[in-house]
């Protein structure tokens, strides 16, 4: 144990011990409104006020906020085996995704990750390229019908496009006709997860409260979408790899180990997981990226210069990724300033020590990419948007400082997919269009993802 441990005098609170500094119960109550209105900003404030390890005064459960890069690295990577996912956040998520890869804990997760990983290998995600261009061009076709200086809701456009891309790239389907309803169902389901996480009393799923009824309707829609995806696949007469390319669904259906393949419940859970995890995340990231580009004209000019020089008017493809280094740096930096997944959580299996404080077993540890990306030990001028931090010749970020996709064994399986999709989509739009803010500064609303409150209105203008 570190010698600093003794510096905080342990105190008893209800059934637990307080082992690290943090607000008192009274201080916590006075902050509740702020915590509900702006939870991500609240976590940053907590770090500023109480330090790198903060304990919240809950009398029945030890809950810690850990923000220093070294401690984050320990929880998520170095000592990851000591931290599982049995937390309220992931238990609520499991109401929607079941035991899919994102919410599954330790042993179930290990088997699944091994089975599914090949579906995200380099070659397997190559189809993201043409699908992204096709879907982006479809969206731009709609913009073509609008006159210059029209205001569009970028958040809305990104949400729809991201869902279509996931549907096409992973499951070889347009989710056509279903996009609107499936997008809404995903959002409704996620809203309820947040509502459940924020309410001290939640009713079991079978009691027909308004929220439970909304959840049941959303799950019905998602299950319907999964069924249609599977039915469509059954109808396909061609053999994968012969008259069409292998996609993720083929790989999921073929995945086998000594225990067999994925059963129909496991298959459902994975498909819903990928719709949920691969849709709003990318959309949120693209939306904030456009806000940052639009509000930094010098960045937009450099972006335009790069896409003009590299692409010379043709559509981007996967091979362009390495040459679109400024575009990629914009995406990386936007993910630092506005990480869509602003909070993740873990449960300690055994006692540990973080930042000099004792962390008991069965404690909840909150990690916030949002707060760590704003930690002065992680980034200089953390609040300012500066894509040059991520240019190829810039130093690699120190461990634990950059975690929009998480780090360690539970790191996002869709990272390369998301980066590829984002760079190709941004570059395709920037070839022909210039965007600028049409409203005031957007207010980040941290629910499951961080999205701009009330959407993101932007002017669209043809470049010429």
What residues make contact with ligand HEM under the rule CB under 6 A? 101-102, 113, 166, 273-274, 277-278, 281-282, 285, 340-341, 344, 404-406, 410, 412-414, 417-418
Question: Do 138 and 430 meet the contact criterion of CB atoms below 8 Å apart?
Answer: no
Smallest Cα–Cα separation from 192: which of 286, 184, 344?
184
Report the nearest approach of ligand HEM to the CB of residue 451 (Å): 12
Q: Whose Cβ is closer to ligand HEM: residue 290's or residue 417's?
A: 417
143 by DSSP, 3-state: which?
A: helix
Structure tokens at 449: 């993802």
Q: How far is the CB of 221 from ligand HEM (least distance, A)?
A: 19
Buried b (16+ CB within 10 A) or exposed e, 250-287: bbbeebeeeeeebeeebbbbbbbbbbbbbbbbbbbbbb
DSSP track, 310-356: HHTTSPP-GGGGGT-HHHHHHHHHHHHHS-SS--EEEEESS-EEETT
Residue 342 neighbours by CB under 8 Å, 6+ apart: 39, 40, 368, 369, 370, 446, 449, 450
Residue 333 tokens read as 């930096």
Could you tell me the smallest distance in angstroms from the CB atom of residue 1 to ligand HEM? 27
Report the nearest approach of ligand HEM to the CB of residue 278 (Å): 3
Start-to-end CA span in the chain (Å): 64
Distances (CA, A) of 263 to 108, 112, 251, 267: 13, 12, 14, 6
Minimum CB separation of residue 12 from ligand HEM in Å reads 31
For ligand HEM, the closer CB: 163 or 299: 163
CB of 76 to ligand HEM, least distance (A): 6
Enter the tokens of residue 118.
């090949």
In angstroms, the CA 137 to CA 114 distance is 35
| Minimal distance, residue 145 CB to ligand HEM, in Å | 29
Spatial CA neighbour of 131 closest among 165, 170, 172:
165
Q: How far is the CB of 117 from ligand HEM (least distance, A)?
A: 9
Instruction: Give the residue with the Cβ less far from ligand HEM, 233 or 432.
Output: 233
In the block, tokens 């903060």 appear at 54
Asked if residues 335 and 285 have their Cβ atoms less than 8 Å apart, the reply is yes
Least separation in angstroms between residue 350's CB and ligand HEM is 19
C-beta closer to ligand HEM: residue 51 or 167:
167
Q: How far is the CB of 115 from ligand HEM (least distance, A)?
A: 11
CA gap 157, 269 in Å, rounded = 27
CB 431 within 8 A of CB 327: no
Between 273 and 300, CB nearer to ligand HEM: 273
Number of H helices, E strands in the chain: 16, 16
Identity of the residue, 167 or 294, whose beta carbon is nearer to ligand HEM in the bound complex: 167
Of the pair 290, 405, the CB lying nearest ligand HEM is at: 405
Choice between 31 and 117, CB closer to ligand HEM = 117
Task: Quote the tokens at residue 334.
Answer: 């936007």
Give the residue at shortest CB distance from ligand HEM: 414
Nearer to ligand HEM, 13 or 70 (CB): 70
User: How many CA atoms lie less than 13 Å away from 277 in the CB half-sphere?
Assistant: 23
- 356/404 with CB nearer ligand HEM: 404
């Amino acid at each position: 144990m570190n010698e600093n441990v003794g510096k905080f005098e342990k105190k008893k609170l209800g059934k637990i011990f307080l082992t690290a500094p943090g607000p008192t119960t009274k201080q916590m109550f006075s902050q509740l409104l702020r915590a509900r209105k702006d939870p991500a900003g609240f976590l940053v404030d907590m770090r500023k006020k109480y330090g790198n390890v903060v304990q919240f005064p809950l009398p029945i459960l030890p809950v810690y906020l850990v923000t220093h890069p070294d401690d984050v690295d320990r929880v998520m990577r170095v000592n990851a085996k000591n931290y599982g996912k049995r937390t309220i956040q992931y238990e609520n998520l499991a109401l929607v995704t079941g035991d899919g890869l994102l919410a599954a804990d330790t042993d179930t997760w290990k088997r699944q990750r091994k089975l599914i990983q090949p579906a995200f290998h380099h070659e397997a995600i190559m189809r993201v390229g043409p699908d992204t261009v096709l879907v982006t061009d479809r969206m731009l076709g709609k913009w073509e019908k609008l006159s210059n200086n029209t205001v569009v809701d970028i958040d809305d456009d990104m949400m729809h496009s991201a869902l279509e891309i996931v549907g096409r790239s992973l499951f070889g389907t347009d989710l056509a006709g279903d996009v609107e309803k499936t997008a809404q169902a995903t959002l409704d389901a996620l809203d309820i997860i947040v509502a459940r996480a924020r309410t001290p009393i939640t009713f079991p799923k079978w009691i027909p409260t308004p929220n439970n009824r909304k959840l049941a309707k959303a799950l019905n829609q998602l299950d319907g979408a999964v069924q249609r995806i599977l039915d469509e696949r059954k109808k396909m007469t061609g053999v994968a790899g012969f008259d069409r390319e292998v996609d993720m669904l083929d790989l999921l259906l073929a995945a086998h180990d000594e225990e067999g393949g994925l059963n129909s419940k496991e298959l459902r859970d994975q498909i819903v997981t990928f719709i949920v995890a691969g849709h709003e995340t990318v959309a949120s990231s693209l939306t904030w990226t456009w806000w940052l580009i639009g509000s930094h004209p010098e960045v937009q000019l450099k972006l335009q210069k790069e896409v003009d020089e590299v692409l010379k008017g043709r559509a981007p493809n996967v091979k362009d990724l390495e040459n679109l280094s400024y575009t990629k740096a914009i995406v990386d930096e936007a993910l630092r300033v506005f990480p869509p997944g602003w909070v993740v959580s873990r449960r300690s299996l055994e006692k540990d020590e973080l930042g000099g404080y004792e962390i008991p077993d069965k404690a909840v540890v909150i990690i916030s990419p949002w707060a760590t990306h704003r930690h002065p030990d992680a980034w200089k001028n953390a609040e300012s948007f500066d894509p040059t931090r991520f240019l190829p010749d810039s130093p690699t970020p120190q461990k634990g400082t950059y975690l929009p996709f998480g780090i360690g064994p539970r790191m996002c399986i869709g990272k390369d997919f998301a980066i590829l999709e984002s760079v190709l989509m941004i570059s395709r739009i920037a070839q022909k269009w210039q965007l600028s803010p049409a409203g005031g500064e957007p207010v980040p609303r941290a629910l499951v993802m961080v999205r701009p409150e009330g959407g993101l209105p932007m002017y669209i203008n043809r470049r010429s």
